Amino acid sequence: MAARLLMIEDDPGFIEAMSYLLEKAGYTLTVARNGREGLEKARQEQPDLILTDLLLPGLNGYEVCTMLKQDVRYQKTPIIIWSASKVQEPDQKLALECGADAFVLKATEPKQLLGKIQEVLAAAPRS
């Protein structure tokens, strides 16, 4: 069975490119376009992994991650935060402090991103 991913992203072009990449790789994908919608879809869909942009309308990626990781039902759901920010080190540190399992730059090569998704899924505790 294909892993179910939730992508929380507000950039239409990035959504289109990532949707193509992830679905071609065999993942089942749900998309949310802001942090609040992301929280709702995470609770409805119960994805195997969540990919969230750092900068989102309303709740940002840190807030979404923190809120999900504070909820006992979603503590084991792996979360990858991504960002186009060039200030990588502070963002990465804060992402991990919020409970994210990984932080990647949006400019990451597609093969590297897919590898990181596989790595995080493989390391995720089974419910």
In contact, 81 and 100? CB cutoff 8 Å: yes
**pTM for this one?**
0.93
* Per-residue pLDDT at 90: 84
CA 68 to chain centre: 12
pLDDT band at 107 (very low <50, low <70, confident <90, very high): confident
pLDDT band, very low/low/confident/very high, at 87 (cuts 50, 70, 90): low
For the chain, what is the total number of helices (H) and then of strands (E)?
A: 5, 5
Per the CB < 8 A criterion, the answer to whether 43 and 49 are in contact is: no
> According to the model, what pLDDT value does residue 91 have?
82
Indicate the average pLDDT of the chain.
92
- Secondary structure of residue 7 in the 3-state scheme: strand
Kindly report the CATH number assigned to the domain that includes residue 64.
Answer: 3.40.50.2300
Residue of 90, 102, 86, 98 whose CA lies nearest to 49: 102
| Model pLDDT, residue 1 | 66
Higher pLDDT, 6 or 124: 6
Mean pLDDT of 83-98: 82
- What type of residue is 68? L
Number of domains in the chain: 1
Span 104-120, average pLDDT: 90
Burial of 123 from C-beta contacts in 10 A (0-12 / 13-18 / 19+): exposed
Name the residue range of residue 84's domain. Answer: 4-123
